[in-house]
Amino acid sequence: MNVLVTGGAGYVGSHAVAALQEAGHTPIVLDTLELGHKEAVRGAELVVGDVADGELIEKVLGKFEIECVMHFAAYAEVGESMVEPMKYYANNTLATLSLLNSMFECGVKKFIFSSTAATYGEPEVVPIAEDIAKTPINVYGHSKLQTEEACAWLSRQTDFRYAAFRYFNACGAHRSGEIGEAHQPESHLIPLVLQVPLGQRAAIKIFGSDYATPDGTCVRDYIHVSDLASAHVMGIDYLMRGGDSTAMNLGTGHGYSVKEIIETAREVTGHAIPAEEADRRAGDPPTLVAKADRARELLGWAPRESDLKTIIASAWNWHKSHPGGYA
């Protein structure tokens, strides 16, 4: 199948492109390259452009006879979303509505959407099930929730079908070592930890060590980016066999603390990785772990590369060989 992959030059999107190719599909990437890297698009057509450019999108959908759109393109920095909220509503909500409008104009009615655990806010019950009330605590989470709600209405009222995937903490790198995480600035824990053995950072800061968790540090559900990618490929099969529109968590159902991440990184890299304890950051819930059954039941998906050592070893393999990212 010909699949349009928006944001396919970014971290998760580039791994989805690889998984689509491995499964025999033909991905066509559309990316502004504002945050993505053309080097991350390997062996696929790359169209440089914006999802909000309706004329371009309609041309691409027609020219490549696209049957399904995977939409990764977005801004994804929680802190920035609180300082520049309109930037997030414009790109994550308005531009996505424009993309959906272009799809409707061209009769493309299958959509796989990158959503996020940030749509939930700070749930009291963990593991987090898909159907709990969603009360995001930042603009980023709200901008994604708005798109999910629009998709739900479009699906109720028309023959449009979608799967929204709520990722927990995406991490790791492709087993080839040729694509991986290269955000600028970097805000994710594992690449930040690995900057210490790379000599790019003296120590890693632990924000809060007095949470009500087993070792006092925040617990998160880490899911390998290649496992996310395979869920997207399975999402195509699900929609093609008539699966109902729905949202699914993508996580392992198991949480690791910040201290466990650092300890495993020490084992994998053989480096002492000094850590410094610092104050809590505002808006960091103690524990975010997915209830991960729905994707297993509906897609037949199971994480295969998400045990912590495999995640960190794959990330280390990538960062060691690309210490400056794709530069």
Ligand X SMILES: NC(=O)c1ccc[n+]([C@@H]2O[C@H](COP(=O)([O-])OP(=O)(O)OC[C@H]3O[C@@H](n4cnc5c(N)ncnc54)[C@H](O)[C@@H]3O)[C@@H](O)[C@H]2O)c1
Give me the active site residues, please.
Answer: 140
250 lies in the site for ligand X, by CB under 6 A: no
51 lies in the site for ligand X, by CB under 6 A: yes
Q: Out of 81, 93, 102, 114, which residue is the one contacting ligand X (CB under 6 A)?
A: 114
Before 127, cis peptide (omega within 30)? yes
Q: Out of 4, 67, 72, 305, which residue is the one contacting ligand X (CB under 6 A)?
A: 72
β partners of residue 257: 219
303 lies in the site for ligand X, by CB under 6 A: no
CB of 242 to ligand X, least distance (A): 26
306 lies in the site for ligand X, by CB under 6 A: no
CB nearer to ligand X: give 43 or 242: 43
Q: Out of 19, 73, 164, 190, which residue is the one contacting ligand X (CB under 6 A)?
A: 73
Indicate the residue type of 75. Answer: Y
301 lies in the site for ligand X, by CB under 6 A: no
Query: Residue number with the shortest CB distance to ligand X?
Result: 10
Which residues within the stretch 281-300 sit at the binding site for ligand X (CB under 6 A)?
none
CB of 294 to ligand X, least distance (A): 17
311 token code pair:
């995640």
Angstrom distance (rounded) from CA 99 to CA 6: 10
130 lies in the site for ligand X, by CB under 6 A: no
Which residues within the stretch 15-44 sit at the binding site for ligand X (CB under 6 A)?
30-36
Which residues within the stretch 142-171 sit at the binding site for ligand X (CB under 6 A)?
167, 169-170
CB nearer to ligand X: give 90 or 106: 90
On whether the CB atoms of residues 187 and 327 are closer than 8 A, the answer is: no
CB nearer to ligand X: give 36 or 127: 36
Neighbour-count burial of 34, counting CB atoms closer than 10 A to its CB (0-12 exposed, 13-18 middle, 19+ buried): exposed
Here the contacts of 235-241 (C-beta below 8 Å, separation 24 or greater) are 235/112, 235/163, 235/165, 235/299, 236/1, 236/3, 236/25, 236/68, 236/110, 236/112, 237/299, 238/163, 238/298, 238/299, 239/68, 239/110, 239/112, 239/161, 239/162, 239/163, 240/1, 240/110
Q: Out of 3, 5, 10, 252, which residue is the one contacting ligand X (CB under 6 A)?
A: 10
Nearest CA to 163 out of 272, 262, 45, 298 is that of 298
Nearest CA to 114 out of 75, 79, 84, 86 is that of 75
End-to-end CA, the chain: 32
76 lies in the site for ligand X, by CB under 6 A: yes
262 lies in the site for ligand X, by CB under 6 A: no
**Chain positions contacting ligand X, by CB under 6 A:** 6-7, 9-13, 30-36, 50-52, 72-74, 76, 91, 95, 114, 116, 167, 169-170, 183
